[in-house]
Structure 1
Amino acid sequence: MEHFVELIKALAWPSAVIWISYIFRSEVRQLLGRVSSFKYKDVEASFGKSLSEAEKSAESIKKPKVEVSDADLSQKEQLLRIADVSPRAAVVEAWTLIETAAMKNSLTSGVALKRTNPKMILDNLSASGKFSPESIELINQLRQIRNKASHLPDFAISQSEAERYLDLAVKSAAVIGATVS
């Protein structure tokens, strides 16, 4: 009988955790979707899922012949220096390249945006008809990563992940800027 009681004691907490996790499974999924890194004692995992999805989207897009200008390279070098100090700040700052290119694009199209936010910029690019749905999806994924970096206090990104984001942002801005004519 004592062994049976000990067995029940040993299984009580794991069973309770599994049961609670099952009850709150949708909330747990949402929480895990927001986590960008995890560290417990000597175990550390980085979750660059959003960034990997954006890179896959970028690979599936037909690449127009766009050359990255010297100005874009200079801006990227500045962003890389920022990433050395604060990868999170570099992600937020890299989004401004996309915003600037989109604003120039909309001005040449004769559309004046009185007020802008990242979602309005995305909607404007989509409405212009100049970009494929895949390109719009890539820019949306970059916007979502930028939003996480801006608004989630527990968001953490490594320097290498920030550099990958910067590369995608510079290329996206160059593509947006290339449609200005």
Structure 2
Amino acid sequence: MTFLDFSASVISSLAWPACVLTIAYMFRTEFRDVLSRLTRLKYKDLDADFGSAVRELEEEAQKIDISPALPPAKAETPTIGTSDRLAEAERLLAEFPEPAVARAWQSVEDALLEVATRLGVVEGANVRSMSLSIIAALVSNGHMDQSTAELLGRMRKLRNLVVHGGGLPISSDEAREFVALARGITERLTETRK
């Protein structure tokens, strides 16, 4: 193999990757736009579609008489805690749907901790690390039915997929559905009595 043969081999080996990278660079804006509209992610056994998952959760919630609740028609001064986080989630919806989902889930966690503390199920717990334990304790003490517990577990997984799942893009409308479901479940939790 002469030097010219070697050079030709190297150039032909690098031509296709260089061409692909050049095209990708030239159309980077278009690729970004297409990826931002992506609502479904599938890779090997992982299949994530936030919109259909939220709709399934809403159907399950309605079966157990939990209605997704829209924000109040008139803006109210939010109090510290659950309603404050929900109000913040609603403000984030249009431009930042992923953080809106995270804030809405935090309101659910706040409501879980408040109910569990009020009912004496836990005391001084850190709900961020104990939401599953609190749900299990509420079920075992008869304060929550299994369907509601399963709904909360699925909402938690969906929130985790959005926040930690590698950037699954979601639309503002899908986030709005999740926030409405979170509002409905927090209202149900605050109505929980001994």
Say yes or no: TM over 0.5.
Answer: yes
Task: Name the amino acid aligned to 1:81.
Answer: R
Q: In terms of Rg, which structure is larger?
A: 2
Please tell me whether residue 48 in structure 1 is matched to residue 51 in structure 2.
Answer: yes
Q: TM-score, normalised by structure 1?
A: 0.66
- CA displacement, residues 159-181 of structure 1 (integer Å, 9 cap, x when unaligned): 00000000000110111111146
Q: Identify which of structures 1 and 2 has the higher relative contact order when contacts are C-alpha pairs closer than 8 Å and 6+ apart.
A: 1
Deviation of the 1:74 alpha carbon: 6.2
Question: Which residue, 175, 178, 185 being the options, matches 1:165?
Answer: 178
Question: Which residue, 111, 114, 127 being the options, matches 1:101?
Answer: 111
Q: Distance in 2 between matches of 1:94 and 1:63?
A: 16
Number of residues of Structure 1 aligned to a counterpart in Structure 2:
140
Deviation of the 1:77 alpha carbon: 3.7
Q: How does 1:95-134 map to 2 (within 5 A)?
A: 95-110=105-120, 111-112=122-123, 114-116=125-127, 117=129, 118-134=131-147
Residue ranges of structure 1 left out of the alignment (5+ in a row): 1-26, 37-46
Report if aligned partners of 1:57, 1:137 keep a CA contact under 8 Å in 2.
no
Deviation of the 1:132 alpha carbon: 1.9
| Alignment match, 2:91 | 81
Question: Which residue, 78, 88, 91 being the options, matches 2:101?
Answer: 91
User: Secondary structure of 1:156's partner?
Assistant: coil
Q: TM-score, normalised by structure 2?
A: 0.62
Report the identity percentage.
Answer: 24
Please tell me whether residue 144 in structure 1 is matched to residue 147 in structure 2.
Answer: no
User: Secondary structure of 2:184's partner?
Assistant: helix
Q: Distance in 2 between matches of 1:113 and 1:73?
A: 21
Structure whose residues are more often helix by fraction: 1
Report if aligned partners of 1:61, 1:134 keep a CA contact under 8 Å in 2.
yes
Task: Name the amino acid aligned to 2:91.
Answer: R
Report if aligned partners of 1:94, 1:169 keep a CA contact under 8 Å in 2.
yes
Q: Distance in 2 between matches of 1:76 and 1:105?
A: 17
| Pairwise CA RMSD | 2.7
Q: Distance in 2 between matches of 1:164 and 1:137?
A: 18
User: Secondary structure of 1:179's partner?
Assistant: coil
